[in-house]
Chains A and B, each alone.
Chain A
Amino acid sequence: AQKVTQTQTSISVMEKTTVTMDCVYETQDSSYFLFWYKQTASGEIVFLIRQDSYKKENATVGHYSLNFQKPKSSIGLIITATQIEDSAVYFCAMRAMSNYNVLYFGSGTKLTVEP
């Protein structure tokens, strides 16, 4: 069975700083994909970034990057130079080969970026 856990319920940071959101996952599969999504205040859920389990390099897209620590089953999302508009709920998710049609989500971390 697949499971994704986000223990940080909420985080507050000052604008222009760097923030890391934690996520740990459980799977028996050797091949899987890890995703981060952002849910804005309006409720829209958008895909941000993906990490492939077989890649050692951490994925980076714009000011989002990942800290993939496979031995710890951990995939942290790092946002550098945060902006007010980064305030949102961030979801970690996993898709594993044994059940590849389904994306399993964590419970989310609410990020507040203050001026």
Chain B
Amino acid sequence: DMKVTQMPRYLIKRMGENVLLECGQDMSHETMYWYRQDPGLGLQLIYISYDVDSNSEGDIPKGYRVSRKKREHFSLILDSAKTNQTSVYFCASSRTDFNSDYTFGSGTRLLVI
């Protein structure tokens, strides 16, 4: 079954704590993404990973970092979480083909208090 899996689905953290969001895919897609979704703003790209240890900043990378040590796994890390990082985070993956669509995970709803 081709899918992107995100863990956890829901997370509550205190301001200043570190946060780890994990994402896995079973399609051997080279490219993976982290987006955040806020009301009225659609999906904003945080980071993109082209393959293992080949990551690039997206449009809103400040306050985030990523790790990709295996093709099937892509992590988003928030060092010292802030309240304005409360959001829904989506991981996605795709082939490198120009016409490929994305496969999205179910999202992680993060609340920073």
Assign chain A's interface to a size class. Answer: 20 to 34
CA distance in complex: A50, B94 (Å) = 15
- Asked whether A106 lies within 8 Å of B99 as measured between CB atoms, the reply is no
Instruction: Say whether A102 contacts B101, CB under 8 Å.
Output: no
B48 contacts the other chain (Cβ, under 8 Å)?
Answer: yes
- A83-103 interface bits toward B, Cβ cutoff 8 Å, 1 = contact, 0 = none: 000000001000101001111
Contact A33 B99 (CB under 8 A): yes
| Given known A-B contacts A101-B31, A101-B50, A44 and B106 have beta carbons under 8 A apart | yes
For residue A67, CB closer than 8 A to chain B, the reply is no
Q: How many A-B residue pairs have CB under 8 A?
A: 46
| A43 contact set on B, CB distance < 8 A | 88, 106-107, 109
- Decide if A22 is an interface residue (CB 8 Å cutoff): no
- Interchain CB contact under 8 A, A102 and B88: no
Hey, which chain B residues are within 8 Å of A91, CB to CB?
42-43
- Whether A102 and B107, one on each chain, are in contact in the complex, defined by CB atoms closer than 8 angstroms, is no
